[in-house]
C-alpha cells in the first residue's frame, strides 16, 4: 500500500527538517518545497494527501498558495495545515475561501503537527487508516 503523502512548504530549513523527520518516521512520504511557488508546482505534480505550509514565504505566501490550490480542480480538495508566527491571526473569511483545516502558531512541536495530520487524514500515528 502506498503511504500517504505530505507536502511541506516552509522557507525555514530547520522547521522542514524537524517536521519531515517526524512525518517520515511515522510512515508518511514527505516532499519539501522552500517557497510557495515551488509548493504549488509540486502539489499539482504529486497531488499530496495533505499540505503543510508556512504563511510567510517568498514568491507566493502560504495564503496565496492555499487560494491557488482551492481554485485548481485537481488540488481543490487537498486539506491544508497553515503554520503562522505567534500572534498572527488569519481572518475567518480567508480561511473559509480555502482548504485550511488547522492553523498552528509557531513555536509548535513536531509531535503536534503529526497529531494534526493524522486527525485530518483520519489515520493512526503510523500513517494507517484509523479503525
DSSP tag of 3: P
Helix (H) or strand (E) holding 82: strand 80-84
- Compute the distance between CA of residue 26 and CA of residue 43 in angstroms, rounded to an integer: 21
Q: How do the domains of the chain map onto residue ranges?
A: 5-121
| Contact status, residue 11 vs residue 34, Cβ threshold 8 Å | yes
- Compute the distance between CA of residue 72 and CA of residue 70 in angstroms, rounded to an integer: 6
Report pLDDT digits (tens) over 3-47.
Answer: 899 999 999 999 999 999 999 999 999 999 999 999 999 999 999
Say how far residue 19 (Cα) sits from the centre of its chain. Answer: 10
User: In Å, how far are 12, 43, 54, 128 from 33, measured between CA atoms?
Assistant: 10, 10, 11, 24
| Highest CATH level, class, for 5-121 | alpha beta
Report pLDDT digits (tens) over 57-106.
Answer: 988 999 999 999 999 999 999 999 999 886 677 778 888 889 999 999 98
- Compute the distance between CA of residue 111 and CA of residue 8 in angstroms, rounded to an integer: 15
Amino acid at each position: 500500500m502506498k503511504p500517504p503523502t505530505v507536502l511541506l512548504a516552509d522557507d525555514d530549513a530547520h522547521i522542514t527538517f524537524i517536521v519531515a523527520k517526524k512525518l517520515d518516521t511515522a510512515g508518511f512520504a514527505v516532499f519539501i518545497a522552500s517557497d510557495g511557488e515551488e509548493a504549488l508546482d509540486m502539489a499539482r505534480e504529486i497531488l499530496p494527501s495533505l499540505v503543510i505550509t508556512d504563511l510567510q514565504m517568498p514568491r507566493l505566501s502560504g495564503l496565496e498558495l492555499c487560494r491557488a490550490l482551492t481554485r485548481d480542480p485537481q488540488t481543490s480538495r487537498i486539506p491544508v495545515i497553515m503554520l503562522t508566527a505567534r500572534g498572527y491571526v488569519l481572518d475567518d473569511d480567508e480561511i473559509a475561501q480555502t482548504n485550511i483545516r488547522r492553523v498552528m502558531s509557531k513555536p509548535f512541536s513536531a509531535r503536534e503537527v503529526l497529531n494534526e495530520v493524522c486527525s485530518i487524514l483520519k489515520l493512526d500515528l503510523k500513517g494507517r487508516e484509523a479503525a
